């Protein structure tokens, strides 16, 4: 029996009525339940568009998007999302920021008042997991960038989503903090595997975290190369210096360089950000 969780089949998306101005074209992608995939490619290739299609924030112009056995017709409630900017609410303390999705997403919204203590303990457990257990009463401006991104991961996971969508979540951090958060995300996923789609420009990040890495073409985007990451888990940062790891990174870099050399379809359209 197939455990496929996400299916995109021959999907096109144009942000305008001009069918020649496609962000993605003939995009097909399958993701199994519990699989951790990464999507890489040249800037503007449609990586963020892919996230919007899967989460239902944008309907396809053509083709089908199916998640958890149902065609996507609108925003999905069982998705967690984290972005390059942590986007924590500055007037809320850390614990309250973490619990924000519970005030919005059903069925948690209906249960929050009578089961608040259970939810607070869940939030505190997540904070302990990422090393923020002593900071729950602080405001975002009192936290470092890395701490804010740890909190952003907790907020994305508080409602126990079936699908986690990550759009360059560590791109604004220094190299040391970024690698530290790779390990945090690795540990969260390995403790209770959920389906993850990571969009990143960092090839080392993609190979360290993902089961499978997909390379997208230039606009209009489509999958042109798929690489299974056959490196045993759990993976330590030391694995990043192994020859096999480096070879996979070079293979992906060669694939991206090849698609960058393909003439781009000319369009005045710029890809919309996932979060304004």
Residue 94 and residue 70 share a domain? no
User: What CATH number has the domain bearing residue 54?
Assistant: 3.40.50.300
In the chain, the percentage of residues whose pLDDT exceeds 90 is: 69
Edge-to-edge, what's the strand order for the sheet holding 163-167?
79-83, 163-167, 195-199, 36-40, 212-216, 223-228
Average pLDDT of the chain is: 89
Residue 73 sits in the same domain as residue 26: yes
Give ∠ CA 216-217-218 in degrees, rounded to 5: 125
| Span 23-32, average pLDDT | 95
Give residue 105's pLDDT band: very low, low, confident or very high (50, 70, 90).
Answer: confident
Same domain? For 47 and 96 the reply is no
How many domains in the chain? 2
Residues 70, 93: one domain? no
Confidence tier at 261 by pLDDT (50, 70, 90): confident
Please say which residue of 161, 182, 211 terminates a domain: 161
Indicate if 148 and 103 belong to the same structural domain: yes
Mean pLDDT of 159-188: 91
Domain boundary among 138, 161, 184: 161
pLDDT of residue 87: 87
Q: How far apart are CA 246 and CA 241, in angstroms?
A: 7
Residue 201: inside a domain, yes or no? yes
The confidence score (pLDDT) of residue 155 equals 93
Residues 73 and 200 grouped into a single domain:
yes
| 3 pLDDT tier (thresholds 50, 70, 90) | confident
Res. 18: pLDDT tops 70: no
Query: Residue 275's pLDDT is what?
Result: 46
Residue 269 scores a pLDDT above 50: no
Token duo for residue 14: 């144009």
Question: What pLDDT does 138 receive?
Answer: 96
| Angstrom distance (rounded) from CA 34 to CA 11 | 23
Q: Is the pLDDT at 235 greater than 90, yes or no? A: yes
Question: What pLDDT sits at residue 270?
Answer: 47
Looking at the structure, tell me whether residues 63 and 119 fall in a common domain. Answer: no
Q: Does 99 share its domain with 73?
A: no
Segment 18-24 shows an average pLDDT of 75
Q: Do 13 and 53 contact (CB within 8 A), yes or no?
A: yes
Domain residues for 250? 1-78+164-170+195-276
Does 43 score more than 80 pLDDT?
A: yes
* The model scores a pTM over 0.85: yes
Does residue 200 share a domain with residue 63?
Answer: yes
Q: In what order do the strands lie in the sheet with 22-32?
A: 22-32, 4-14, 62-67, 70-71
216 belongs to a structural domain? yes
Q: Is 269 left (phi over 0), alpha (psi -120 to 50) or beta?
A: beta
110-114, 225-229, 269-273: least confidently modelled range: 269-273
């Amino acid at each position: 029996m197939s455990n496929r969780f996400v299916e995109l089949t021959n999907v096109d998306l144009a942000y305008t009525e001009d069918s020649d101005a496609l962000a993605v074209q003939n995009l097909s992608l399958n993701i199994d339940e519990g699989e951790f995939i990464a999507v890489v490619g040249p800037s503007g290739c449609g990586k963020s568009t892919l996230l919007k299609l899967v989460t239902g924030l944008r309907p396809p112009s053509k083709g089908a998007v199916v998640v958890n056995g149902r065609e996507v017709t609108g925003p999905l409630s069982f998705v967690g999302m984290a972005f390059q900017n942590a986007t924590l609410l500055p007037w809320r303390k850390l614990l309250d920021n973490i619990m924000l999705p519970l005030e919005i997403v059903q069925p948690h919204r209906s249960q929050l008042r009578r089961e608040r203590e259970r939810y607070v303990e869940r939030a505190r457990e997540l904070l302990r997991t990422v090393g923020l257990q002593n900071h729950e009463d602080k405001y975002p401006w009192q936290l470092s960038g890395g701490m804010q991104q740890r909190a952003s991961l907790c907020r994305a996971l508080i409602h126990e989503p079936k699908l986690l969508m990550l759009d360059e979540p560590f791109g604004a951090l220094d190299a040391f903090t970024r690698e530290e958060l790779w390990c945090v995300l690795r540990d969260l996923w390995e403790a209770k595997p959920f389906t993850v789609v990571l969009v990143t420009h960092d090839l080392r990040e993609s190979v360290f975290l993902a089961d499978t890495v997909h390379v997208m073409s230039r606009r209009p985007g489509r999958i042109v190369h798929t690489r299974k990451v056959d490196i045993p888990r759990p993976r330590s940062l030391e694995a990043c210096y192994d020859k096999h790891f480096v070879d996979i990174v070079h293979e992906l870099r060669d694939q991206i360089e090849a698609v960058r050399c393909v003439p781009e379809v000319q369009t005045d359209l710029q890809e919309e950000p996932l979060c304004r």
